[in-house]
Structures are given as C-alpha cells and as structure tokens.
A and B are shown apart, each in its own frame.
Chain A
Amino acid sequence: MNVQFRIWRGDANGGTFRDYTTECSEGMVVLDAVHAIQRTQAPDLACRWNCKAGKCGSCSAEVNGMPKLMCMTRMSDLPLEKPVTIEPMKAFPVIKDLVTDVSWNFRLKKKIKPFKPRPPDAPDRTWRMQQEDIDRVQEFRKCIECFLCQDVCHVLRDHGMYEKFIGPRFLIHVAALEMHPLDTEDRIEELRSAQGIGYCNITKCCTKVCPESIEITDNGIIPLKERVVDKFYDPLGWFWRCLKKKSED
C-alpha cells in the first residue's frame, strides 16, 4: 500500500515539512521508508543510520511526535490513514533534515571521571566478580547512546539546562561506573554540583522512550539521588563523618 509521509526538511536556518508518498510492504520499518524516499525522490535527504537492528543508536528521530529509533519502528504499528510525520530530535540543534548536532553529549562524557579499578584480586592480575553483583551494571551498559532519553528529558528539551544538567544518559553512565564492583572513584560530589542530579524530578519520560528498556529512573537515577542525599543531606551521616574525620586527625 502507498503511505504518506511528512518529513521535516531544512537546516539551522529553518525548514518545513514536505510531503512524500512511498510504497510500504510487509514488515517495513520507518527507516526503510526514509531510505526508499531517499533512493527515489530525495537523494539529499539527510538521516543518520548504521546497523538497522537497534544496536548502534544512530537513527533517532521523532516519529508522529514520539522519540524513536526509526529502524525499530514498524510501519504496521503506526496509524497509516493519516501521514506519518518524521522530524529531528528537538533537544539538539539541527544540522540538516533529520540529522542533529549531538556533539554536546560527547563533550560531556569526557568530563566524567573515568573508571578506576581496585588492584587485581588474583596473582594473574585478574579480578573476581559474581554474576549477581554485575547484573545491574550490565543493564546500564546496554545503553546504545541513541540520546532519545536526552531528547525527551524536559530539563534539557524545555528548559535547555545543558550547562547545569547532564541528562539521563550520563546519569546512567555515572551509575554504571559508581555501581561497578571494581570501581574505586567517587563521583557523588559532581553528581550534586556540576552534573545537577537534583534537577531530575523523576517524571520517568526517559525510561519510557529507552529502546533498550533500561530502568533509567528506578534502577539508576533514584539510587544515585539516594547516595547524594546520604552524603550531603543526612544530618546523622554528616555528624558521624565529622566525628570520624576528627578522630582520624
């Protein structure tokens, strides 16, 4: 059947939706349709993609207003009686058409303290970890860096607080480091200050759009918030640390 699309075309100076029609066959995903349009009607239509199997996180866009990976969005799951709209992620500056400038994310990651393991456990310089102790970290490490969670997060999308808040993707990155059984670094102070974890008011939008089904809020952000609270806002803990520090002095 023929399906109608409204695809945003333009660049940093502005743009508009344009209409396209293409044939849809069984099993098609949105990215297939974009490719078909590119191949036959708009060779210069810009979009990112790589694996086409939901593993690389390149083809993020907003399909009918929802942040999605285009390669994992089946046409058959969309209402096709009206045009399907495809537009770039709104939380990032447009480069061209469906391609946005996500470089902020890459700059941010460089600022997060890297993994710092404890000394190896065994003489052959290897470590021992139990599977149940790494299940949670493995969940976070499933992240494919599609940045859909950043896109949907209202602190970034609506309030533009890119200087004060690192967004769900990097809170999960910090969580994966903080909960790594071998890691010895302390990132709690930055979480509170430079990384702005307090701005997250756990609306869970990020969790809803995560294509890897990572429980971003419940398993990552909330436990991190608890660690921050324990360290900085728990009066008993504060008192205890003062005492401990004094006795150490």
Chain B
Amino acid sequence: MPDYETFEHDVLVIGAGGAGLRAAIEASVAGVRVGLVCKSLLGKAHTVMAEGGIAAALANVDERDNWKVHFADTMRGGQYVNQWRMAELHAKEAPDRVRELEAWGAVFDRTKDGRILQRHFGGHKYPRLAHVGDRTGLEMIRTLQDHGVHQGIDVYMEHTILSLLKDGDRVVGAFGYERERGRFKIFRAKAVVLATGGIGRAYKITSNSWEYTGDGHALAYEAGAELIDMEFIQFHPTGMVWPPSVMGILVTEGVRGEGGILTNKEGKRFMFESIPENYRHQTADNEEEGWRYCQGHKDARRPPELLTRDHVSRCIVRETREGRGSPHGGVFLDISWIKSKIPNATEHIKRKLPSMYHQFKQLADIDITEQPMEVGPTTHYIMGGVRVDSDTQMSRMPGLFAAGECAAGINGANRLGGNSLSDLLVFGKRAGEFAAKFAKQNSLGEIHNSQIESAAREALAPFDQGDGENPYQIQMDLQELMQNNVGIVRTESEMQYALDQLQQLKQRANHAGITGNREYNPGWHTMIDLRNLLTVSEAITRGALERRESRGAQFREDYPEKDDRFSKVNTIISKADDGSMRIRLEPLPRMPDYLKEVVEENR
C-alpha cells in the first residue's frame, strides 16, 4: 500500500452542512465511530446561507396545518414527480426535527404565547417556516455544530475527497487530500454518507459558494450509483443583479413573505397577470387580499409573489425579455411600500430582515426600507441527485448513503422554499441512523491499491503540465456555456451545442496545468472541482434533453407544455461499462391510495 496516512471509522460522512452534521450526530448517538470530512472549516458550509426558515407543520401559527397539508404542498410544488415516500416521511418528521434543534439550543423567533414562530413562504398553504430573522441557516448549522462537537466525532476540516473506494460493489471508504499540506489520506469506513450539497458553480450566476461543485454527485456516479432528476435545477427568482460583483447573491423569499412585492419598470405588479391554473383558487386576485395574507388573516389567499420559485423566475425572465425590466436587467422587489400599511415599518423591516438590510446597504448602497431592490433569477439549488432508498437513504451501492441536496427525490420538479432545511434534518438523521446500522452489520472492506494509485495519479497530473491552460479559464467558460445554453429557458439545439462543447471542455481540462506546490493551492483545487463540474453538467444537459416537456423548474421552449408521457417517470443517469454516460426513463413508484386521498383532499 502506498504510504498515505490512513484513518478508520465505522461511518464516514462527507460534507458538514446541515445534512452531514445531522447524519454524523445520529450515527454517533448510535454508538459507532464517526469521521466527518468538511471541504471548508467547520460551520462554514453552504447551509449558513439559508435565510428564510425550516418548513415544518408545527401548526403554531395556524392550527389548520398538519403533515398532510405539508405533504400535498410539497407534491404540488414538485409537479408530482417527487418520490412520494420521501415527501411523506419529510412532512411527518420535520416537526420533531425542529423541536429537537430547540432542545439543542437553537433560539427561534417566538409567537406571542412563547412558541416557535412560523412565517409564510412560497407554495406553503399556511405559515410554516420556523425561523430566526433571515439567518435561519446560520442558527441551524451553529446549533448542530455546537451540539456535534461534544459527540466525539472526528472532524477533518479543509479536506477534499477525490474518489470513493470500492471492494467489489461495496463502498468501503474514500481517498482524499488535506488542503493545508496537500497530502493524500485514506479513509476506511464500513459505511459512507455523502452530504456534499449542490452544483451551483456550474453556472455563471449563482447564489452558491465555491464549494458547490457537485462533488457528491460525481463521486457517486463514478462509483456506480445512479443520479435522477438532474434536469431540475432551481433558479431562485430573487438574486441581486447589481453591482456586477454581487450578481447572484441571494435575496431571501422572506422579503416576499413579509409583504414584499415584485414590479416592473412601469410600476406594475406583473405577478397578478399569470397565475397557473392549479394555483388559481389558492391565490389572491387583488392586492389588498395579498397584503392581508401576509398580515396573517386566515381568510385571505397568498399574493402571487409567493407562487412557486420556478414560476416566479419565469415571469421575471418574461418581463426582462419583453423590455419591462429594471435598469440592470432585473425587476424591482419592494418591501419599503409597507410603510403605507403599518406604523414603524422601518424598524419592522430591520428586525425581520436584518441580513437583507445590511447586504443591500453595504454592497449596493441601497436602503431597503426606503428604496426597492433590483433582483433577477440566480442558480440556487438542484432537485436532482443521487438516487436513494426513501427510508434508509442508501444508494444502489451497498454502504453508500446520500442525504440533503446531493440526494434526490423529495422535491420532484421544483422545491418549495424552506423544504431544504427540513430535508437536511429529516434525511440527514435517517442517513446517519441507517449508515450506523449498516456499519454494525458489516466489517471493514478491503482497500485496493490500484484504485488509490490511479486517483493519486489523476489528481497530480496537472502539476506535470505546468504550461497547460489555466483551470480558472476553463471553469469560467463552462459556467458561461451552462448559463447560456442549459439555463432557465431551454431548447434542443442549444443543449446539443452544450453537449458538444462539454466534450471539448473535457479535453481542455485534461491538458490544463497548474503552478506552485501542493500546499493550500487554489489552482489545484479548481482543477479538481472542474472535473466534478464537467460530470454534473453533462448529466444536467442529458436529463434536460431527455425530458421533452416543461415541468417545474425545467422549461423547454420547444416543448412548452406538460406532457403526460413524462408525468410518471424519472430520468435516471448511470455510468455505462464503456465509461460513457447513459440515460433512461423509469416509472415513478406508485403512490398508495391513502396518500392519493391526501393529495385530493388538499387540491
């Protein structure tokens, strides 16, 4: 065996955001030895960026809420291609997961009678998001982190995993490097949980950090697991559009939950003009009713600004394409108008949306209590990911589990805001629980030298090509390609072009070179991220080509309507024996009658 430092764990969790931390805590509670690999420092993962809240039918603010309504909302939002079992488990278990956070020290905003306060969010029938101002993700990750560090978990900060190690079909560990010295490390484990988040860095305009390069998606795919629903990428309707350097940074949906309105340059609330049929009876038909909804009047229906994210994003694109956009190519999002409705509006806005207030004040010189913001769609989240068993979160590779954004199923064609944080908790816990169980039933597998040697060789190759092309340039070209050709509005010809270009980018990446040494070398890291980004970009493009219809987040200009042929299938991607990427359609699992009734009751 090559002389690399080797670590042994029962369960190795890769990724230390909400899902990874929750999985690590659960596995640890089950009494097994847990290793937790973070790409950055502990507590800096992308969960920290989540703003609005955690969706859970606690019914603290509206007693009519329960798991059934949450389940039906999630399925409707996902256009019914969700894995029903995941949506069911999620709706049923989310309230316990939120209450558990409180028991671990989280301090949520309160109702008047002292319980956890819940706010309105897009696509949720009742106020459902437990929150802390607009920094809920920070509260969640810090609570899990502070609880987790007392559980005896071994944390490996600033480590990146290069490949999963296999013994036959079973995943038995991972091979990676630590950033500080650039040294390779071997992690042996009886079970591995992927919790690596999303793929946003495949696009030019994104709310995601540098870490979001589809690592878990690519690791699982290369190891032989399947990816599903990769075409469904959420473009959040409200990212910052100006100044250029902050383009894409998220503006929480909470702004609209608190009464913020979207207008075009003519001052018109354009969202009233196109309310989808299946949401019409739930949506306000006048401005006054929409405002009353945000104020908590139970007889009022939600304003159209709180329709699902896929729809709102498309409406914004329509406004800008048709010349009714704001000066910097977005539309206006205005919360300051509530001054005409409530006293002390300035204080109210600062209290409910403190991060947004500071973000705009500091980065764009905009006082959101006085002026409208300019916003436009930003790549935010991928609904697709590693195909897992709904109950255990295990992939088709024994010993390989996935949870959170890198796993797929709960969200279908579009995710509702707030369902991500609850997803991390519910399925992070499940992945940790079942990974620990798997670890107890299995011994450590064998590590094969050849796998390690080839991974090490591949990782180091760019150092031998020092005069090769700069990986940053290739990554930028990839982002440009995906943004322009596999973005919010898609057509066959553009995506075919993207597919061709991806092959060329792969060639360029193979010949890219880096300078400097292995110690904390961002050029090298970019090179490694690029490889994963190229894999997921191809998967996204193939999925989007295969689904010849428009559904949820996927909008095909050449197939603008929903098509029944695609209403009961998932796109499934796997690696063929010859190393090429294969895609096929597979029927969705049949929803049992009791859940069909739940859907019908809540139509």
Taking a contact as CB atoms under 8 Å apart, the answer to whether A55 and B355 are in contact is yes
Q: How far is the CB of B490 from chain A (nearest CB, A)?
A: 27
Contact of A131 among B109, B211, B515, B517 (CB under 8 A): B109
Q: A49-B210, A127-B102, A138-B132 are in contact. Are A58 and B520 (CB under 8 A)?
A: no
Tell me the A131-188 residues at the B interface (CB within 8 Å). Answer: 131, 134, 137-138, 141-142, 144-145, 177, 180, 183
Tell me the A94-117 residues at the B interface (CB within 8 Å). Answer: 95-97, 99, 101-103, 106, 109-110, 114-115, 117
Q: How far is the CB of B159 from chain A (nearest CB, A)?
A: 13
Q: Which among B86-94, B273-281, B356-364, B453-461 touches the partner chain?
A: B356-364
Q: How far is the CB of B134 from chain A (nearest CB, A)?
A: 10
Q: Which residues of chain A come closer than 8 Å to B355, judged between CB atoms?
A: 54-55
A48 interface residue, CB < 8 Å from B? yes
Interface hub of B49, B105, B115, B139 (most chain A Cβ within 10 A): B105
CA distance A56 to B212 in the complex (A): 14
Taking a contact as CB atoms under 8 Å apart, the answer to whether B146 and A25 are in contact is no
Q: How far is the CB of A140 from chain B (nearest CB, A)?
A: 9
Q: Which among A39-47, A198-206, A218-226, A237-245 touches the partner chain?
A: A39-47
Q: A57-B44, A126-B115, A141-B142 are in contact. Are A43 and B110 (CB under 8 A)?
A: no
Taking a contact as CB atoms under 8 Å apart, the answer to whether B245 and A25 are in contact is yes
Contact of A27 among B44, B244, B354 (CB under 8 A): B244
Q: Which among B35-43, B502-510, B580-588 touches the partner chain?
A: B35-43
Taking a contact as CB atoms under 8 Å apart, the answer to whether A45 and B522 are in contact is yes
Taking a contact as CB atoms under 8 Å apart, the answer to whether A55 and B41 are in contact is no
Taking a contact as CB atoms under 8 Å apart, the answer to whether B44 and A131 are in contact is no
Taking a contact as CB atoms under 8 Å apart, the answer to whether A74 and B514 are in contact is no
CA distance A38 to B475 in the complex (A): 13
B103 interface residue, CB < 8 Å from A? yes
Taking a contact as CB atoms under 8 Å apart, the answer to whether A53 and B149 are in contact is no
A2 interface residue, CB < 8 Å from B? no
Q: Which residues of chain A come closer than 8 Å to B516, judged between CB atoms?
A: 43-44
Taking a contact as CB atoms under 8 Å apart, the answer to whether A74 and B363 are in contact is yes
Contact of B470 among A28, A43, A51, A131 (CB under 8 A): A43
Q: Which residues of chain A come closer than 8 Å to B209, judged between CB atoms?
A: 49-52, 56
CA distance A145 to B107 in the complex (A): 17
Taking a contact as CB atoms under 8 Å apart, the answer to whether A129 and B49 are in contact is no
Q: Which residues of chain A come closer than 8 Å to B133, judged between CB atoms?
A: 138
CA distance A38 to B44 in the complex (A): 21
Residue of B nearest to A76 (CB): B365
Q: Which residues of chain A come closer than 8 Å to B115, judged between CB atoms?
A: 126, 128
Q: Which residues of chain A come closer than 8 Å to B250, judged between CB atoms?
A: 53
Q: Total contacts A to B, CB within 8 angstroms? A: 171
Q: How far is the CB of A25 from chain B (nearest CB, A)?
A: 6
A72 interface residue, CB < 8 Å from B? yes
Q: A53-B49, A53-B250 are in contact. Are A44 and B515 (CB under 8 A)?
A: yes
CA distance A125 to B58 in the complex (A): 13
Contact of B514 among A43, A51, A125 (CB under 8 A): A43
Q: How far is the CB of A204 from chain B (nearest CB, A)?
A: 21
Contact of B523 among A32, A44, A99, A126 (CB under 8 A): A44
Taking a contact as CB atoms under 8 Å apart, the answer to whether A142 and B44 are in contact is no
CA distance A46 to B470 in the complex (A): 16
B135 interface residue, CB < 8 Å from A? yes
Taking a contact as CB atoms under 8 Å apart, the answer to whether A11 and B519 are in contact is yes
Task: Assign chain A's interface to a size class.
Answer: 35 or more
A248 interface residue, CB < 8 Å from B? no
A29 interface residue, CB < 8 Å from B? yes
Q: Which residues of chain A come closer than 8 Å to B358, judged between CB atoms?
A: 54
Interface hub of A55, A97, A103, A110 (most chain B Cβ within 10 A): A55
CA distance A99 to B400 in the complex (A): 33
Taking a contact as CB atoms under 8 Å apart, the answer to whether B245 and A129 are in contact is no
CA distance A120 to B110 in the complex (A): 16
Taking a contact as CB atoms under 8 Å apart, the answer to whether B44 and A56 are in contact is yes
Contact of B146 among A38, A50, A114, A127 (CB under 8 A): A114
Binary contact track B205-244/A, C-beta < 8 Å → 1, others 0:
0000111000000000000000000000000000000111
Q: Which residues of chain B come closer than 8 Å to A25, judged between CB atoms?
A: 243-245
B147 interface residue, CB < 8 Å from A? yes
Binary contact track B96-133/A, C-beta < 8 Å → 1, others 0:
00010011110101100111100000000000000011
Taking a contact as CB atoms under 8 Å apart, the answer to whether B472 and A26 are in contact is no
CA distance A109 to B45 in the complex (A): 18
Q: A43-B522, A72-B362 are in contact. Are A51 and B48 (CB under 8 A)?
A: yes
Q: Which residues of chain A come closer than 8 Å to B515, judged between CB atoms?
A: 43-44
Taking a contact as CB atoms under 8 Å apart, the answer to whether B41 and A58 are in contact is yes
Interface hub of B102, B113, B514 (most chain A Cβ within 10 A): B102
CA distance A115 to B100 in the complex (A): 13
Taking a contact as CB atoms under 8 Å apart, the answer to whether B246 and A131 are in contact is no
Taking a contact as CB atoms under 8 Å apart, the answer to whether B107 and A58 are in contact is no
Q: Which residues of chain A come closer than 8 Å to B249, judged between CB atoms?
A: 52-53
A247 interface residue, CB < 8 Å from B? no
Taking a contact as CB atoms under 8 Å apart, the answer to whether A55 and B48 are in contact is yes
Taking a contact as CB atoms under 8 Å apart, the answer to whether A129 and B150 are in contact is no
Q: How far is the CB of B245 from chain A (nearest CB, A)?
A: 5
Q: A29-B363, A55-B138, A55-B355 are in contact. Are A44 and B522 (CB under 8 A)?
A: yes
Taking a contact as CB atoms under 8 Å apart, the answer to whether B49 and A55 are in contact is yes
| Residues on A facing B (Cβ under 8 Å) | 11, 25-29, 32, 38-40, 43-58, 72, 74, 95-97, 99, 101-103, 106, 109-110, 114-115, 117, 120, 125-131, 134, 137-138, 141-142, 144-145, 177, 180, 183
5 further A-B pairs in the complex, CB-CB below 8 A; given A25-B244, A46-B522, A54-B358: A26-B244, A28-B245, A50-B211, A95-B180, A120-B103
Q: Which 10 A-B residue pairs are closest in the complex by CB-CB distance?
A: A27-B243, A44-B516, A43-B523, A128-B114, A115-B105, A46-B520, A50-B209, A96-B520, A39-B472, A131-B110
Name 21 interchain pairs, CB-CB below 8 A, sorted by A.
A27-B364, A39-B472, A40-B472, A43-B522, A44-B517, A48-B40, A51-B46, A53-B49, A54-B362, A72-B362, A74-B363, A114-B105, A115-B104, A115-B105, A115-B146, A127-B102, A138-B133, A142-B138, A144-B48, A145-B43, A180-B107
